Amino acid sequence: MTVLQLRNTLTREKESLPAPAEAGQVKLYTCGPTVYNHVHIGNWRAFVFYDVLHRALRWLGYDLRHVMNLTDVDDKTIRGSIAEGVPLREFTQRYTDFFLEDLDALRIRHPHDMPRATDAVDAMVSLVETLIDKGVAYKSDDGSVYFKISGFPGYGKLSGLDARELKAGAGGRVAADEYDKENVTDFALWKAWSEEDGDVFWETSLGKGRPGWHLECSALAMEHLGNTIDIHAGGIDLMFPHHENEIAQSEAATGETFSRIWVHNEHLMVGGKKMSKSLKNFFTFRQLVELAGATGREVRYALLNAHYSKKLNLQVTYEGEGEERHPVRFDSLLAAREALHRLDGFRAALERAGEGPDPGDAARAQLQELHAAMRSAIADDLNVPAALGKLFELVKEVNKLEGYDQAFAGEVLAVLQDVDEVLAVLEPEADAGLDADEQQLFEGWVAAREAKDWARADALRDQLQERGIGVQARKGESTWTRL
């Protein structure tokens, strides 16, 4: 039986989960989006990574419970709603809806629960009260409540901050939801209302105010999954301080391990820099659809192209200088499109298989070997690029055969279907239009038929068929379908 192995940031070791039959319910928590804008495709790298983890666990037979929060109250959401003069809930609902639509376009399975932070303020308040009772949180003069990091000896264990760094920073405090590695400080659990918050506040036993961002994940994870979860995932930029703070809040309150395994995805880069809102070097999924005719499947494939723990560079070609500079080609997307064309063509050929020779035992043994290699690559710390490598090896080997019968084609298709439970890239978009190249081939075929250039028409029809597109001419009308 295959078990999943993950590299645990906490121990810096690759660790095996118990076998599915012994693991009980696997509890997974992933840090969700802040719903104040369209998320960019760097963020989508994180969500696609969570999805691969989610799918791999279920595919290997684990009983999974997955929770992901929606951050619908923090400095940024409040600022945005005030700037537009729209109530916070209305403002965040708009971006939640966009997020869920794009989630589906990228073939991401929904977590079992996606709680909003604002629906769990009571749980957050009671967590803060527990921390005050235990002496690891204190009220400041303005009524905000801070976590005292010197009161939690394990602070820094995830990100490997040493005592020296802690000492240099300790004593200060920070109210902002986001702060950087230079500031190892007490952080806000509860923020007393201030004018910038407008009408966003809760009247609670802690006073009038709102929860801090870090608190939300601790409270939601424990409320939905219990004191100890199995796996916590997030982007590498969240390791410090966000995840460090989550551990401190949860473990100081319960005295129990908060999460056994922590996994972090590396960044999507562009031009050697992290893609981020603040650097203004980002693209949203919708921009890629508009600018490059991208599909969710292509973006997903492009994001799967590197191991989650390695940086991935989005290749873009720009023209113009300064203000005029604009993207003219998304090379990573073109590469993804090309790879998917090959896979579509391969699948279409398998589906068309009719009478043919039985390729024999050696070919079957090779098919099983490649299938096993794909399965173990995925189980080995979600090595999707290695699995894709084996998939293309399979394409090459099957194409080398001097034909095959329907039975063998069915066996190959079953292997594809199995690995696609995790990859989710093989099924063509149901309503996908033709891309620019395909459109050109199709128009060429129509024109060649009109010119009665049958040889050219046949050659173009074959090229389209290789890409998984069938063409028909009936009653003077030319149409195409995905095979």
Among 113, 129, 165, 237, contact with ligand AMP (rule: CB under 6 A): 237
Query: Which among ligand AMP, Zn ion, none contacts residue 461 (Cβ within 5 to 8 A by kind)?
Result: none
Q: Which is nearer to Zn ion, 247 or 441 (CB)?
A: 247
Q: Which is nearer to Zn ion, 74 or 438 (CB)?
A: 74
Q: Which is nearer to ligand AMP, 314 or 348 (CB)?
A: 314
Least separation in angstroms between CB 42 and ligand AMP: 3
Among 7, 54, 148, 267, contact with ligand AMP (rule: CB under 6 A): 267
SS (H, E, C) the chain: CCCCEEEECCCCEEEECCCHHHHCEEEEEECCCECCCCCEHHHHHHHHHHHHHHHHHHHCCCEEEEEECEECCCHHHHHHHHHHCCCHHHHHHHHHHHHHHHHHHCCCCCCCECCEHHHHHHHHHHHHHHHHHCCCEEECCCCCEEECHHHCCCCCCCCCCCHHHHHHHCCCEECCCCCCCCCCCEEEEEEECCHHHCCCCEEECCEEEEECHHHHHHHHHHHHHCCCEEEEEEEHHHHHHHHHHHHHHHHHHHCCCCEEEEEEECCEEECCEECCCCCCCCCEHHHHHHHHCCCHHHHHHHHCCCCCCCCEEECCEEECCHHHCEEEECHHHHHHHHHHHHHHHHHHHHHHCCCCCCCHHHHHHHHHHHHHHHHHHHHECCCHHHHHHHHHHHHHHHHHCCCCCHHHHHHHHHHHHHHHHHHCCCCCCCCCCCCHHHHHHHHHHHHHHHCCCHHHHHHHHHHHHHCCEEEEEECCEEEEEEC
418/301 Cα distance (integer angstroms): 17
Least separation in angstroms between CB 35 and ligand AMP: 8
Least separation in angstroms between CB 242 and ligand AMP: 8
Query: Which among ligand AMP, Zn ion, none contacts residue 46 (Cβ within 5 to 8 A by kind)?
Result: ligand AMP
> Applying CB under 6 A, does 235 fall inside the site for ligand AMP?
yes
Name the one range near ligand AMP by CB under 6 A: 153-161, 229-237, 316-324, 462-470. 229-237
> Applying CB under 6 A, does 33 fall inside the site for ligand AMP?
yes
Least separation in angstroms between CB 270 and ligand AMP: 8
Least separation in angstroms between CB 41 and ligand AMP: 8
Count of residues touching ligand AMP (by CB under 6 A) = 18
Residues that bind Zn ion (CB under 5 A): 31, 217
> Applying CB under 6 A, does 34 fall inside the site for ligand AMP?
yes
Query: Which among ligand AMP, Zn ion, none contacts residue 27 (Cβ within 5 to 8 A by kind)?
Result: none
Least separation in angstroms between CB 340 and ligand AMP: 22
Among 56, 131, 268, 415, contact with ligand AMP (rule: CB under 6 A): 268
Q: Which is nearer to ligand AMP, 374 or 382 (CB)?
A: 382
- Closest-approach residue to ligand AMP (CB): 235
Name the one range near ligand AMP by CB under 6 A: 15-23, 43-51, 142-150, 472-480. 43-51
Among 6, 31, 123, 128, contact with ligand AMP (rule: CB under 6 A): 31
> Applying CB under 6 A, does 217 fall inside the site for ligand AMP?
no
Q: Which residues bind ligand AMP (CB under 6 A)?
A: 31, 33-34, 39, 42-43, 45-46, 234-235, 237-238, 265, 267-268, 274-276
